[in-house]
Amino acid sequence: MPVNLTANAISAINGGDVNTKPLVQVVDIKLIGSTQERYRLLLSDSLLTQHAMLATQLNDRVKSGRVRKGSVVQLIEYICSTVQDRKIIVVLNMETIVPECEIIGNPNMFNESDTMPQKSVPDRSSGSTQLTNNNNFVPQNSTRANFSKGNNSSFQNQSNNMQNYPTMVQPPYQPPPNYKNHGAIMKNEAPARIIPIAALNPYQGRWAIKARVTAKGDLRRYNNARGDGKVFSFDLLDSDGGEIRVTCFNAVVDRFFDIIEVGKVYMISKGSLKPAQKNFNHLKNEWEIFLEATSIVDLCPDEDASIPRQQFSFRPISEIEHTENNSILDIIGIVVTVNPCVSILRKNGMETQRRILNLKDQSGRSVELTLWGDFCNREGQQLQEMVETGFFPVLAVKAGKVSDFSGKSIGTISSTQLFINPDSPETLALRDWFDRGGKDVTSQSISRDVMPGGSNNELRKTVAQIKDEGLGRSDKPDWVTVKATISFIKTDTFCYTACPLMIGDRQCNKKVTKSGNSRWLCDRCNQEFEECSYRYLLQVQIQDHNGLTWVTAFQESGEEILGCSAKELYVIKYEEQDDDRFAEIIRNCLFTEFLFRLKIKEEIYGDEQRVKITVVKADKVDYSVESRFLLDLISKVALNNGRK
């Protein structure tokens, strides 16, 4: 089938054309780049060929085979840039016209001498104008090609009753008249073309983006071999859903830090693009913008409703079980509990705040969310007041960090954003589910040493079955749920003194001792401090209808059992010496029925092997929920018996 390409397309693009949308052929495709996948194309207009870079958002066209060697494509958005003193076409958008075709013509590689001034020659028979290049006229009776949306696959010639595509007549490229030559060197003062964030790449010489600031980081100071410096960054979102991070250093910080506001829309140009540092940048973009002294940031005074105020990519809580440590993700859930705010001393000696709350969603799982710093007294305090009044709000977490310490949990970082009851479809769906019965649905926690995969977490066992079935004696621990009653709590050593320093995002928690100067000393951190932490180390005897056993409950599960912190109980017993109040707290827990989530693992103490049972979660039995569980269990048993 005869196919003809747009005449002189390569020369025109190099001459500055960005509007013709020519028909060209892909002569060759090559995958380049070791860390970031990019495709280099060799494009032909049947006379000349030139290398082109494919925008990364079009990579799937090549992977799926829609664009391959021999394909005839129409360039929709494109630009010619100079890279290392060599011109290259950057393809931002295109459409495949003919998926596969023989190589058309015998094209030669383009060079700068091919971009001669073009002259317009009138077509006396039709009144149209055609282009000449290097004094060569385009023959009037030649077969011409164009892209018709109405019939993409018909390429016919008039002389043999085949459909003929009219010529893509391209006028000679002229800059707009208001951009004048102000001297010996022509300076292009035209405003850069606004392009989507997804189309940004280092091969573009001039670009501009219009986007909304969705997050702004704090101003940070640093010191390295080159001296002192300061840095801040902010995240952008455009109307096409593209996101990118912008970073400023030193003098550039002084120019832009005060004018950047979250929620405002800006026009940004003249920045440089570099590969994103994925250790610190969670956005789904392989590039990051670095602003420079010549960069331009202009506030758009008129609100642009086409640009969303925020963009989420929510993950169900159940998926977090299988997510890698330190991953950054978005989650949304119902806040069911909010713990008090506590002060934590970091390893650098600085004090910070921490608050832990629990989220649940329709996936049947719940997760701990740890708030750090200002989040504790800002959103954390607001959430606590809501929960205390009996209202359980929806919380959306943008850019939370996954931790696998003591099970899977989520923590806030500097770029995290919290949204209480956001206006979104996910919020409405969660609220409807919660109000229609989700509030009473038991959710399995993926935090507190919960085994990834969690298939055994819902396995109900009796106390006697732990021993009879030899649980905990394999290479991996067993995870079971036991409904049992507390029959005894050892009160002589119910807690220990712990190191309060933070190592990364975790507290040290190693046992500390008093040094000679009455300060607390941590051998692990090799530091002394005035105050220590008190952490539960409870030895609890539990029993059900067919057996009893000893279990160990640490900090969080100890608080769930006793209803107060280890420090509060320590003060009551040893500082206030209020034995009656202490005894009352212990008595209130005895003969109370709990659902215990247990981790069972055989460990070696000296030369002796013992099975250690640790409480990772303790919930008082909700008898309405437990009744539904038992009814479901009866139904399943009856169904299985009926099948037999």
The whole-number pLDDT of residue 127 equals 41
The whole-number pLDDT of residue 185 equals 42
Q: Give the integer Cα–Cα distance in Å for 214 and 193.
A: 23
Strand 272-275, strand 287-290: pairing: antiparallel
555-562 helix and 579-589 helix, angle to the nearest 10 degrees: 90
- Residues forming a β-bridge with 536: 495
pTM above 0.75, yes or no: no
The whole-number pLDDT of residue 495 equals 93
Q: Give the integer Cα–Cα distance in Å for 268 and 629.
A: 57
- Residues forming a β-bridge with 42: 28, 51
CB 31 within 8 A of CB 184: no
Q: Which of 431, 454, 427, 425 is nearest to 364 (CA)?
A: 454
SS3 for 86-125, per residue? EEEEEEEEEEEEECCCCCCCCCEECCHHHCCCCEEEECCC
The whole-number pLDDT of residue 156 equals 39
529 CA to centre of own chain = 38
The whole-number pLDDT of residue 201 equals 82
The whole-number pLDDT of residue 584 equals 94
- Rounded to a whole number, what is the distance in angstroms from the first to the last CA of the chain? 67
The whole-number pLDDT of residue 602 equals 87
Dump the DSSP string for 562-579. Answer: HSS-HHHHHIIIIIS--H
- Collapsed DSSP state (helix, strand, coil) of residue 380: helix
The whole-number pLDDT of residue 454 equals 37
Q: Which of 243, 328, 235 is nearest to 279 (CA)?
A: 328
Going from the first residue of the chain to its last (644 residues), give the mean pLDDT of each consecutive group of 10, the final group possibly shorter.
80 85 91 73 91 84 90 88 77 86 86 51 41 39 38 40 40 44 47 81 82 89 85 91 92 92 92 84 87 92 82 90 87 92 70 88 91 90 91 93 83 90 91 90 72 48 91 83 94 90 76 84 85 92 94 92 93 92 93 92 80 90 86 77 62
The whole-number pLDDT of residue 379 equals 92
